[in-house]
């Protein structure tokens, strides 16, 4: 059997990794400033992460959601405490798309409506409703196009108001910092007005924190930069540091009932152990604060590079905009400078998503390599 060929691959075969260094099958080391699409939050092979997963595997790796799993309760409590979102309830699933799919479904259950407002350049995943709210025609099949979704620009409050006043909208889904789209952000003023209008019109506000959550933006959640309160928050990526896990934080005002949501694998013992260890490391090593400080250090250094037209993002969710497409630069960085970076829908933006425990020396190494590649 061959693999279904959907990924254009870089010619690199990682075989081991530690911290922010990845080693390939020829013994070459690479600096990882991308974390496999923002997934590696506490660094590769963190000792506490390995210990927790090994210990858990020796006890019990999986049983279904038909029996008690105290690790889920411990995780919900810890997440509520660290994120400042203890007034939400937690539903665990396996990926970002699944988290958004469940969030959209809940919004439709809750309001009895079905149209969704999403934003230009959004990315929310590849499942049915999640992909329909993703602004990319190419990855939406005819079956997905049956969903009713309206895409609007950020910060156009009059247009937004007109749309939501039609009365058929169940949810508004947004990224506080767009990931795949290229690091654009809505303004605080806009998000506050969106929040008010959602409340008045019985519309569920969904903050997609799949990429920006778990400390990456320099606050635990990126929406917390804006003093708003979403009804639902979705999480995945950095949550498991590579272990597939996702979640939906559902405000206490939305009631649960048996069977409303469900999953076989979601919230299994190993996923909980992985997430609990990530939270413990984030707390012990002060990684939210580190993301903020190192993000500022990065932005300051990046602003001095003449080829950089604009710096984007917050914390360690960063982008560098050039006046040329970055595909060739990324190839140079990976094959000549041995540095992993990311691209975006905006082809002129280089995406930077390192682990949250990097330090200034790592950043200096990054800029040294970038400067050579740009020269
Ligand atoms: C903001 C956002 N939401 C959802 C997703 C989908 O997550 P997953 O690939 O885990 O389904 C992504 C993935 O890049 C994302 O960046």
Whether residue 250 contacts residue 100, with contact meaning beta carbons closer than 8 Å, is answered with no
Residue 339: name the closest of 313, 364, 360, 359 by CA.
364
Ligand 1 atom nearest 244 alpha carbon: 10
Query: From first to last of its 375 residues, what are the pLDDT tens digits of the chain?
Result: 999 999 999 999 999 999 999 999 999 999 999 999 999 999 999 999 999 999 999 999 999 999 999 999 999 999 999 999 999 999 999 999 999 999 999 999 999 999 999 999 999 999 999 999 999 999 999 999 999 999 999 999 999 999 999 999 999 999 999 999 999 999 999 999 999 999 999 999 999 999 999 999 999 999 999 999 999 999 999 999 999 999 999 999 999 999 999 999 999 999 999 999 999 999 999 999 999 999 999 999 999 999 999 999 999 999 999 999 999 999 999 999 999 999 999 999 999 999 999 999 999 999 999 999 999
Residue located nearest, by CA, to atom 13 of ligand 1 = 125
Ligand 1 atom nearest 178 alpha carbon: 1
Q: How would you class 193 by CB atoms within 10 Å of its CB: exposed for 0-12, middle for 13-18, buried for 19 or more? A: middle
How far is it, in rounded angstroms, from Cα 173 to Cα 82? Answer: 24
Instruction: Please identify which residue in the block is written with the tokens 């007034």.
Output: 87
> Which residues does 233 contact at the CB level (< 8 Å), separation at least 6?
85, 88, 206, 207, 209, 213, 221, 223, 248, 249
Domains of the chain: 14-46+306-374 (3.90.1150.10), 47-284 (3.40.640.10)
How far is it, in rounded angstroms, from Cα 317 to Cα 178? Answer: 9
Residue located nearest, by CA, to atom 8 of ligand 1 = 96
Could you tell me the pTM of the whole model?
0.98
Whether residue 40 contacts residue 241, with contact meaning beta carbons closer than 8 Å, is answered with yes
pLDDT at 169: 98
Residue located nearest, by CA, to atom 3 of ligand 1 = 124
Angle at 285 between CA 266 and CA 365, to 5 degrees: 105
Residue 34: name the closest of 368, 360, 357, 343 by CA.
343
| Residue 375 Cα to ligand 1 middle (Å) | 34
């Amino acid at each position: 059997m061959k693999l279904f060929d959907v990924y254009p691959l870089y010619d690199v075969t990682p075989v081991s990794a530690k911290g922010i260094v990845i080693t390939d099958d020829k013994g070459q080391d690479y600096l990882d400033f991308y974390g496999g699409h923002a997934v590696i939050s506490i660094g590769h092979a963190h000792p506490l992460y390995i210990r927790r997963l090994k210990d858990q595997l020796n006890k019990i790796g999986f049983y279904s959601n038909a029996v008690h799993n105290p690790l889920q309760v411990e995780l919900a409590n810890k997440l509520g405490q660290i994120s400042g979102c203890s007034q939400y309830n937690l539903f665990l699933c396996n990926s970002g798309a699944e988290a958004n799919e469940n969030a959209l479904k809940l919004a439709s259950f809750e309001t009895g409506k079905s149209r969704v407002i999403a934003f230009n350049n959004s990315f929310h995943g590849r499942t049915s409703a999640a992909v329909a709210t993703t602004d990319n025609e190419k990855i939406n099949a005819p079956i997905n196009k049956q969903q009713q979704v309206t895409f609007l620009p950020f910060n156009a409050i009059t247009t937004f108001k007109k749309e939501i006043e039609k009365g058929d909208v169940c949810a508004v889904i947004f990224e506080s910092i767009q990931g795949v789209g290229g690091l654009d952000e809505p303004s605080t003023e806009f998000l506050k007005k969106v929040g008010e209008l959602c409340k008045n019109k019985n519309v569920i506000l969904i903050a997609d924190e799949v990429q920006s959550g778990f400390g990456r933006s320099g606050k635990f959640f990126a929406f917390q930069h804006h003093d708003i309160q979403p009804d639902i928050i979705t999480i995945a990526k950095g949550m498991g540091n590579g272990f597939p896990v996702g979640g939906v934080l559902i405000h206490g005002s939305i009631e649960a009932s048996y069977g409303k949501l469900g999953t076989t694998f979601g919230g299994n013992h190993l996923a909980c152990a992985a997430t609990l260890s990530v939270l413990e490391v984030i707390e012990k090593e002060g990684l939210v604060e580190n993301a903020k400080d190192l993000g500022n250090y990065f932005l300051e250094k990046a602003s001095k590079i003449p080829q950089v037209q604009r710096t984007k993002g917050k914390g360690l969710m960063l982008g560098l905009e050039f006046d040329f497409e970055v595909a060739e630069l990324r190839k140079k960085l990976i094959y000549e400078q041995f540095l992993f970076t990311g691209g975006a829908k905006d082809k002129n933006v280089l995406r930077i998503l390192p682990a949250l425990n990097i330090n200034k020396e790592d950043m200096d190494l990054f800029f040294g390599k970038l400067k050579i590649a740009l020269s």
